[in-house]
Structure 1
Amino acid sequence: MNMKLLAVTSCPNGIAHTYMAAEKLAKAAEEAGIDIKVETQGSIGAENVLTEEEIETADGIILAVDKSIEMDRFEGKRVLTCAVSDAIHKPGELIRRFESGDVSVHRSRKEDSEKPGISQTIRIHKKGRAQNPVYRSLMNGVSYMIPFVVVGGLLIALSLGLGGEPGAKGLVVPDHSFWAPILKVGEAAFTFMVPILAGFIAVSIADRPGLAPGMIGGYIAADGSFYGSEAGAGFIGGILAGFIAGYIARWIKSLPVPRVLQPIMPILVIPLAASILVGLLFIFVLGAPIASLMEGLTQFLQGMQGSSKVLLALILGAMIAFDMGGPVNKVAFLFGAAMIAEGQTFIMGAIAAAICTPPLGMGLASLLARSKYQPEEQEAGKAALAMGFVGITEGAIPFAAGDPLRVIPGIMAGSMTAATVAMLSGVTDNVPHGGPIVAAVQAVGNVPMFFVAIAAGTVVTALLVNVLKKPVQTK
């Protein structure tokens, strides 16, 4: 009887990595003669959802996830948890671990199972290096924050681009204009950014009891009036509020309480106590110092000129391309997204140009020197061009996986070039995304130079990678 496995894949953005991991797992299972069904938890929600009957009869479950997911349904099953990148790069190894019996059974932690109504989030069973829980919690918050920033940024960009009139302070939307309420809706969407970020960081740590204290702490962090500051604590304050709220809530969950109080712990006691504690901490201790730090950072960025801007662009471009959607990429992306809310849209402008350069560059490279690429890489090059247009850096992964020492330096050089050209020419971006698609929705300032930056980075990547690569050996 064939082994039957199930899997769940989910990355922070819920776009490329989620589906690439699912495809790789399905292909590896087919080659091994094993039945597998993969549930994808992408940006549009869960697809191909695993049923209770399928979970009951499965021999094991692979969880290739970079953010928190609920674990109740996998109780008592053999569960192997790994990063999404592991499912992309070594799916066969993950499947072989089930064949060898090298996978432990998932059991909920004792303190969680004693509290009704609280769903357990992901626990790491993988031997050796476990996924960083701080990174996982941060990416959980980022994944829920991004839609608010995208919607807010697009609405603001559209209202200014189509309804704005030039004035002393730049483009201004007149109060009587049709676009004035659209602008207000966009600004309202932006106000949710930090509370959502903080709330879902806390959820990742403490499950649902962390949501209210996390969002309340994030709101206080973003509103400087709570602690006598004109500037709020921004995204740094929101991140800190989320972690503080989450760990306070988790600590309260671990306290022994009479059984009669257990039903109200997750809905009343934990959220109330954690909200009070995180609120007081920010109002009287943390808020003002972090707000001063954010104000200093904003002034520093505003004052950057010449060589200092070039250095920032080089660093951001290198980070974006280095792991093509991985943790290093996400750090740079989160910084750029957060700076949009602080009014420093030129940072996201540089990142937006760098984001699409690796897939576009590798697509062009595969067209210019077909003899240096396998047939499947030539097909991947066509897909990479499409992915680059919509700003999906992961389109370069198939090339980097097969030849990392030649491809990664080339794509890093291209992204650094694109970011530098965009930074020096004053390209701006009001939306946390990249590629030509953001120019199509009027989210980019200085569109001509935006495309010049992308073209320059794409050409540098294609030429450098093709110089480094050798022709494919034919049999």
Structure 2
Amino acid sequence: MKLVAVTSCPTGIAHTYMAAEALEQAAEAAGHEISVETQGAAGATPLTEAQIAEADAVVFAADVDVRDKERFAGKPTVTGSVKRAINDAAGLIAEAVSSAESAPTAGAARAGSAAASATTTPARTQNAALSFGSQLRQWLMTGVSYMIPFVAAGGILIALSFVLGGAEIAAIVNGGTFQGTEYPGVSELSNLFSEAGFAGVLFKLGAEAFSMLVPILAGFIAFGMADRMGIAPGVVGGLIAVAIGAGFLGGLVAGLLAGAVTLGLKQIKVPRGVAGIMPVVVIPLLSVFAVGFLMLVVVGGPIATVQSGLTDWLSGLAGVNAILLGALLGAMMGFDLGGPVNKVAYLFGTAALASDNLTVMAAVMAAGMVPPLGLALATVIRRKLFTQPERQAGEAAWLLGLSFITEGAIPFAAADPLRVIPSTVAGGAAAGATSMAVGSTLMAPHGGIWVIGLIGNPFGYLLAILVGTAVTCGVVVAAKHVRRGTDEPTARAEPSTSPQAVAA
């Protein structure tokens, strides 16, 4: 068989490439050829037309919307999550082969009969229907994946501006009062550098990038639902959400509304003479109006009230409640190691950061660093409990963990999920709770240990990481001592841990 595949995860870093390698190895082991297109953060090298034309079946291993999916129309298709491709690549390959074998055109081609192939019906698509919940998750993760670069760039630029220009830099640029001193603000944007200096430029650039978080989130949720025609109403809906104070919740609703409205309009049958202007004039016009009207008049106000209540609740957290929130978010960060649950916790942290609550983001990043670090430490303390590939993965996990790339723990979880995942959940919860308990703050939404200068109470923050790392290490070592029968490291099938698979 000749197969093609596309892999894509929300961040487009580790999961995307690990899934690709797992599929390549599974196909080779089964005696098939496969070409994989990785739609990652660094872009993609598209499959060629010849590769697609020759393919007997297609595999989509994606947690976000696959770009240019129409290229594969008419091919037997199997759809699964990135996590399944990592953990059960052989199963996805087997399903793709089964779909190809049941497709009339593919069977005729393999029989080598050109005449028979010319008279058969086109190959039907064997695309496993996703449940509504799976589709909803995919749409939301598409929005998050496009938003994350704005979060990272904008957040770190703002944080650096505070380091260089002091906490008053926002008042210097925008005007206002800071610690009793009144600042008029920059007179004109062209005078920004001369009046506010380099720190002012950093703050303005970061603020502009941060201001696009909600519109980008909404626009690309709609894009995931309705393709390119959903972007305009989604972005407009997101801008309105920001304007009325509906925040991230408003962006989520605006994106879903824009996608639904656009999908509905695309179903309308029109005369052929009008069809040409539908995608460029009629659908954008009607969808932008409908989404804007609904956000301004119907749903925006109630969502803004909920968002305001959530912000006030976060600001009022203290003591035990804050520690419990940190433990919950930390456990979520360690649960699926960069998957959807992890991204929900991360999005919650960035939303709190946008609302000037810096403690939540600190707890989230500390908890996200712990899983790779704890497992790397375990491979040093009790080497005999781990296979040689796992020990090699542990060497890479040190750097990945310090850089806040939670996916560095995936090779361990793929090989032994029942022991590893509880340990990463426990360690993440411990780190998040400790960070909240000591009151550490974080102005940057990414960067790991390399943004230590932007962390409030850095010693307390390092303590949180050390506590979480120790808990992860202790739990996984204890769990691996409890083995059943011949469940020894050398007896387990090993996931690939090549540098391409584990390096971000």
**TM-score higher than 0.5:** yes
Shift of 1:131: 6.8
Partner of 1:221: 241
RMSD: 2.2
Partner of 1:59: 56
The AA in structure 1 aligned to 2:215 is P
Alignment of 1:331 with 2:331, yes or no, is no
The AA in structure 2 aligned to 1:68 is D
Partner of 1:99: 97
CA contact (8 A) 2:57 2:99 kept: no
Paired with 1:77 and 1:474, the residues of 2 have a C-alpha distance of 40
SS in 2 for 1:62: strand
- Identity of matched residues, %: 47
Partner of 1:207: 227
Paired with 1:33 and 1:378, the residues of 2 have a C-alpha distance of 29
Q: Which runs of 5+ in 2 are unaligned?
A: 104-124, 169-177, 187-194, 492-504
Paired with 1:104 and 1:313, the residues of 2 have a C-alpha distance of 51
Partner of 2:211: 191
Match of 1:315 among 328, 337, 347: 328
Alignment of 1:264 with 2:282, yes or no, is no
Shift of 1:434: 5.7
CA contact (8 A) 1:79 1:104 kept: no
Shift of 1:394: 1.7
Partner of 2:15: 17
SS in 2 for 1:331: helix
Paired with 2:167 and 2:28, the residues of 1 have a C-alpha distance of 59
Post-superposition Cα deviations, 1:378-398, rounded to whole Å, max 9, x if no partner, equal 112112222212111122122
Partner of 2:121: none
Shift of 1:28: 1.2
Alignment of 1:77 with 2:79, yes or no, is no
Post-superposition Cα deviations, 1:342-395, rounded to whole Å, max 9, x if no partner, equal 112211110000001011100100110011111121112112222212111122
Relative to total residues, which structure has the larger helix share, 1 or 2?
2
Paired with 2:248 and 2:180, the residues of 1 have a C-alpha distance of 25
Paired with 1:104 and 1:354, the residues of 2 have a C-alpha distance of 47
SS in 2 for 1:222: helix
Paired with 2:145 and 2:446, the residues of 1 have a C-alpha distance of 13
Post-superposition Cα deviations, 1:40-86, rounded to whole Å, max 9, x if no partner, equal 11111113x21011111111221111111221211111221111111
Alignment of 1:163 with 2:165, yes or no, is yes
**The 10-residue stretch of structure 1 (312-321 or 463-472) with the greater mean CA deviation from structure 2:** 463-472
Mapping 1:440-459, distance limit 5 Å: 442-459=453-470
Partner of 1:144: 146
CA contact (8 A) 1:63 1:82 kept: yes
The AA in structure 1 aligned to 2:75 is K
Paired with 2:454 and 2:341, the residues of 1 have a C-alpha distance of 25
Mapping 1:122-133, distance limit 5 Å: 125-126=127-128, 132-133=134-135
Alignment of 1:353 with 2:351, yes or no, is no
Shift of 1:279: 0.8
Partner of 1:27: 25
Shift of 1:124: 8.8
CA contact (8 A) 2:154 2:209 kept: yes
SS in 2 for 1:37: strand
Classify 1:153/1:215 alpha carbon distance in 2 versus 1 (closer, same or farther; 3 Å): same
Post-superposition Cα deviations, 1:140-179, rounded to whole Å, max 9, x if no partner, equal 1111111111111111011111121666289x99953321
Classify 1:127/1:188 alpha carbon distance in 2 versus 1 (closer, same or farther; 3 Å): closer
Paired with 1:274 and 1:450, the residues of 2 have a C-alpha distance of 46
Classify 1:126/1:438 alpha carbon distance in 2 versus 1 (closer, same or farther; 3 Å): farther
Partner of 2:191: none
Classify 1:5/1:179 alpha carbon distance in 2 versus 1 (closer, same or farther; 3 Å): same
CA contact (8 A) 1:309 1:424 kept: yes
Classify 1:245/1:99 alpha carbon distance in 2 versus 1 (closer, same or farther; 3 Å): closer
Paired with 2:289 and 2:97, the residues of 1 have a C-alpha distance of 50
Shift of 1:432: 2.8
CA contact (8 A) 2:76 2:127 kept: no
Classify 1:143/1:127 alpha carbon distance in 2 versus 1 (closer, same or farther; 3 Å): closer
Partner of 2:475: 464
CA contact (8 A) 2:158 2:202 kept: yes
Alignment of 1:240 with 2:253, yes or no, is yes
TM-score normalised per structure 1: 0.89
The AA in structure 1 aligned to 2:229 is P
Post-superposition Cα deviations, 1:405-432, rounded to whole Å, max 9, x if no partner, equal 2222211111111111111222222333
CA contact (8 A) 1:124 1:130 kept: no
Paired with 1:412 and 1:193, the residues of 2 have a C-alpha distance of 28
Shift of 1:97: 1.8
Shift of 1:328: 1.4
Post-superposition Cα deviations, 1:107-147, rounded to whole Å, max 9, x if no partner, equal xxxxxxxxxxxxxxxx9922686871111111111111111
SS in 2 for 1:176: helix
Paired with 2:130 and 2:212, the residues of 1 have a C-alpha distance of 38
Larger Rg: 2
CA contact (8 A) 1:210 1:249 kept: yes
Shift of 1:26: 1.3
The AA in structure 1 aligned to 2:462 is F
Classify 1:375/1:165 alpha carbon distance in 2 versus 1 (closer, same or farther; 3 Å): closer
Shift of 1:104: 7.8
SS in 1 for 2:31: coil
**The 10-residue stretch of structure 1 (127-136 or 272-281) with the greater mean CA deviation from structure 2:** 127-136
**The 10-residue stretch of structure 1 (449-458 or 428-437) with the greater mean CA deviation from structure 2:** 428-437
Partner of 1:43: 41
CA contact (8 A) 1:321 1:412 kept: yes
SS in 1 for 2:277: helix
Post-superposition Cα deviations, 1:280-323, rounded to whole Å, max 9, x if no partner, equal 11111222221111111111111111010011011111111111
CA contact (8 A) 1:141 1:196 kept: yes
Paired with 1:409 and 1:169, the residues of 2 have a C-alpha distance of 50
Size of the aligned set, in residue pairs, is: 445
Classify 1:54/1:280 alpha carbon distance in 2 versus 1 (closer, same or farther; 3 Å): same
Classify 1:60/1:306 alpha carbon distance in 2 versus 1 (closer, same or farther; 3 Å): same
